[in-house]
Structure 1
Amino acid sequence: MTQTDATAAKTSAQGPVLVTGGTGKTGRRVVARLRELGVETRAASRSGETRFDWADRTTWQAALDGAAAVYIVPLDTSPSPTTAFIEQAVASGVRRLVLLSARGVDVRGYFGPGHEVSGPHGEGERAVRASGVAWTILRPGWFAQNFSEGVFLDGVREGELALPTGDGKAAFIDADDIADVAVAALTEDGHAGQEYGLSGPRALGIADVLDEIAKETGKRAAYVSVDTAAFRAGLVAQGFTDEEASLWADALIPITTSREAPVLDGVRRALGREPRDFADFVRDAAARGVWG
């Protein structure tokens, strides 16, 4: 029996894996990897094959019935429904929880002066720790994929990326690495009670990021450093609500302050290898033609 067969057999004996946010950046990657391993997997979202809506608790039980493990992609809203969901999951027989949290949520002021550690991610972390079942917490920093399938994509394509990040830097994490760690925690022993801080192997400023993309594609986008008010206004003009625009602006503070720059060891501890370099992400994204 191969390692893949053993993983599938072990998980199947326990029950399927439920992946919330199953169509999102990390969720769809987790679903794909679990299915490649032969693990029965439920891809759950409001419009996915397994219906799941954080705002509609009547959808939770059908998604949870018989599940052995859950990958939790929580809402970044307060009050958070994560605690109630975890209680229902454990009552339904789930024995393993892997929570997608965020880098810095346990550091007061990480996302600016108003950031408290008791926010929605903090609530979720406390809930999994108190669940009484095996749990693993993932704390990734900024995703590399924000430049290829996220809020920064249009700016890169249009040749100008305006952000209020100054000369700050971040060790951007590849979402593929996040998914690999999540799948290991969902299917393998040895990850219970672990908190994995996840980053890439080196810190880059926004101008450095655009240089990396230009080297691979031959198309250079300019980085324009703007103030926070202008950035928020630009998001609102794109259709974001005032609240959403403020959340994005606050989320950028750890880049502006370079709090996202230190390299973390979570990928190496979880997988026994180094995280993917940003250049590897750029090469793969360029091959798919995401930047035109």
Structure 2
Amino acid sequence: MLLTSKRNYSNQYLFLYTTKVIILKTKNMILVTGATGNLGKATIHSLLSRGIAPSDITALVRDEARSAELKSKGLQIKVGDYQDMESLKSAFQGVDKLLLISSSSDIHQRFEQHRNAINAAREKGVGHIVYTSFDMKNLQQSIMGEEVRYHAYTADYLKQIGTPYTLMNNTMYADMIPILSGKDILNKGIAIPAGDGKTPFLPITEMAETLAVVLTTPGHENKEYVIAAETAFSFAEIADMLSDITGKKITYHQPEVNAYIARLIQIGASEEDAAYIARFCVAIAKGEFDTNKSDVRRLLGRSPVSLKDFLKSIYSSLVEL
């Protein structure tokens, strides 16, 4: 009888131990690169909102001094640089899913940096790489040249290496509209060389939510999604929306590109940044962002936040001015 009892206790212990191991194995460690950037922080917020434990999220940062907010949330912090393979290998140890947010460094280094991250992830056995690419009609032939072409190079490389991937082709951030439009729109209107081109602007928070869905639900391996609003708008239409929101007629002007660059420099942008923003405007004018595709409803189970509602959240306070 005593032997039987011991055997039963032993079997019960083995069952509990085995169950614990199975539970541990079902957990997925998610690593978010660019974790202190706008999209990285928003994605981490979305992951936490979906009930992912902070201990199951690793934030990759270049400067640990900037990670205090992430540490306070209970996230694991790893320091790494896309140029430093050893730091990436160390950071990716034990990671199941990698969110590779595209680099913001020198344009000519970006593909090399992405390739470093992908190779390090493959070597460390990362099971799924989610990459934030760009949604345009043709990345290879865009007027923006190398400034967007590296996304195509990265996507092609991901498709070749054999590690399961998901491409998240993001449109332009709706959060960019105030930067593109200028500060004093009530008195000066919107002045931007974007012609009549339309863009399906989407807020960063919406993009982050789609990323969180892909990182936490099955069935996204080796797929490509367009993360954009369902409707594209021109800046003339945006001016009309802002007129409704503020109660004051907002005009839309189309300056020459060089004049636009000069104005950006005058209000504090560097020459390089001003020229970069202007090239986005020219791409908008040529309709390069108007792809008429969106997978947001498919991923979120709802329509994206409307552009007008988003603009209200930013500009409604101007009504009181």
Give the TM-score of the pair, scaled to structure 1.
0.81
Q: Give 1:166 deviation, angstroms.
A: 1.8
* Partners of 1:36 and 1:29 in 2: CA distance: 10
Q: 5 Å matches for 1:74-89?
A: 74-75=102-103, 77-80=107-110, 81-89=113-121
Please give the residue correspondences for 1:26-105 in structure 2 after superposition, counting only pairs within 5 Å. 26-39=39-52, 40-46=56-62, 47-48=66-67, 49=70, 50=77, 51-57=79-85, 59-75=87-103, 77-80=107-110, 81-104=113-136
> Looking at CA atoms only, which structure, 1 or 2, has the larger radius of gyration?
2
Cα displacement (A) at 1:102: 0.5
Matched letter for residue 306 of structure 2: D
Deviation readout 1:97-133 (Å, 9 max, x if unpaired): 1111101274443335xx3699321222122222322
Amino acid at match of 1:134: P
Residue number in structure 2 paired with 1:277: 306
Query: In the superposition, relative to structure 1, how do residues 75 and 97 fare at CA in structure 2: closer, same or farther (>3 Å)?
Result: same
Check the 8 A contact 2:140/2:152 in 1, yes or no.
no
Q: Per the alignment, do residues 288 and 118 of structure 1 end up closer, same or farther by CA in structure 2, a change over 3 Å counting?
A: closer
Match for residue 119 of structure 1 among 102, 127, 149: 149
Identical amino acids, percent of aligned pairs: 23
State the alpha-carbon separation in 1 of the partners of residues 212 and 175 from structure 2.
Answer: 19
Residue 203 of structure 1, aligned match among 208, 232, 242 = 232
Instruction: Give the one of 33, 36, 39 matched to 1:20.
Output: 33
Summarize the Cα distance change of 1:226–1:87 in structure 2 as closer, same or farther, 3 Å threshold: same
Distance 2:24 2:274 in 1: 41
Looking at structure 2, the residues matched to 118 and 162 of structure 1 have their Cα atoms a distance apart, in angstroms, of 24
**Distance of 2:158 and 2:40 partners within structure 1:** 18
More helix by share: 2
Offset, 1:146: 1.0
Q: CA RMSD in A?
A: 3.2
Kindly tell me the number of residue pairs found equivalent between the two proteins: 281
Matched, 1:146 2:176: yes
Letter in 2 for 1:270: L
For 2:41, the aligned partner's letter is R
Q: Is the 8 A contact 2:33 2:100 kept in 1?
A: yes
SS in 1 for 2:305: coil
Whether the 8 Å CA contact 1:160–1:221 is kept in 2: the answer is yes
Q: Equivalent residue of 1:252, what SS?
A: helix
Match of 1:177 among 197, 206, 211: 206
In structure 2, what residue type is equivalent to 1:41? I
**In the TM superposition, what is the alpha-carbon distance from 1:88 to its structure 2 partner?**
0.4
CA–CA distance in structure 1, aligned partners of residues 229 and 31 of structure 2: 27
Post-superposition CA distance 1:9-38 (Å, at most 9, x none)? 989834421111223332222100111223
SS at match of 1:26: helix
Question: What is the TM-score normalised by the length of structure 2?
Answer: 0.75
Whole-angstrom distance in 1 between the partners of 2:187 and 2:150: 34
SS at match of 1:78: helix
CA–CA separation in structure 1 for the residues paired with 2:118 and 2:254: 41
The answer for unaligned runs of 5 or more in structure 1 is 1-8
Partners of 1:24 and 1:65 in 2: CA distance: 22
